[in-house]
Structure 1
């Protein structure tokens, strides 16, 4: 049985003081949550958020990690640095990273392998554009993205990672895939994993939906057989909204 996982991606929002205020409000609202709860604030807020959620059921996540341990990589952050901050999960390959910062399937794979080697749990993002969906290549595309992201990752490591399906056309637009569409695409991702690692291993991988999940649609999405959680953007910036998604 795959335990649901709801992760909040705060993106480039909240100062440390604002972040502290948000998680202080969130902690009592999700204390009895059955799902695993993760918050992914900006790097500068990790310390403040980590102190508030220490000893609670909320896990700390980051929004990116570099594949090298250290060196001349201005603006990047290493797995060891994140671990030292108490980070457990890290988002890798978000569509905004791919769109604005040149992230590729190759660098996503390198980051994911580095994260796993260090003991971090990657949340690996895959997804298609509106044009790709309209051309009928969604399943093929997300399947290939998934296989490339998992290249050289061992079967026994699969339970330490999460895949997030985020239809690019549904991020920050208010549009959302229907629950049935999301479930079908996540099923295609799971089949792609099974082609490489076998059905038994694929059934253990948690796959989130990451396209504008909110308090209004979370229940229907989470009722789908293949959907194991959500990677939440806008709705994670308000404690009450996020808690409603967590408790779908």
Structure 2
């Protein structure tokens, strides 16, 4: 399955999962779908039949509220049954609203408290160096998440220890729970900030698979790497795009039907 097909499936599953469960964050799931699809189709060295393989790349979705996107990708890659996606966010389900590693093969850590994923990623990357392992650590964050001070402590740490095996991808859609990132607490320009912290930085269209693949295949071998991926929140569903409402609202009734019809036209 190529990355375009996987991205479509992530969006389809995401709409259906949040519809069934009345779960939130479909806008975030849609914006990050292309990033997740490219990683799982073309970049990550992972083993669905042996998820704990010590040589695997480590992937952390630090913006854990978009966990449905990762669950969908893992299911489509064969880590667990696609049918299990229907249990998303239900009482007793392993597939919690914010991504959880408990009994979910392929998920490294539970996330959702924003600003923690990059710190965990630094620890994993440093451990790989100490253990002389070749795996890489990939962390997907949100631009709103970058308002957390712990992010910048970790950025300093990664530069100091030359964690060239760490790759941070920022799903930069300029929307967070309470409004536009540029209005809540502006960090623009993100590119220059990460550059100043000593990272190798690339800026791409985060909904363009070719740009994402090119960036992920041209990483610095001397510094930690950051890719600022400019995305559209709600990407792929016209009435959800750039609409803050869909950070928390779940697709029901006519909105659910319209979303499915739009996706079918894109197939």
Please give the range of the TM-score, normalised by the shorter of the 2 chains.
Answer: 0.3 to 0.5
Q: TM-score of the superposition, structure 1-length normalised? A: 0.38
Q: TM-score of the superposition, structure 2-length normalised? A: 0.36
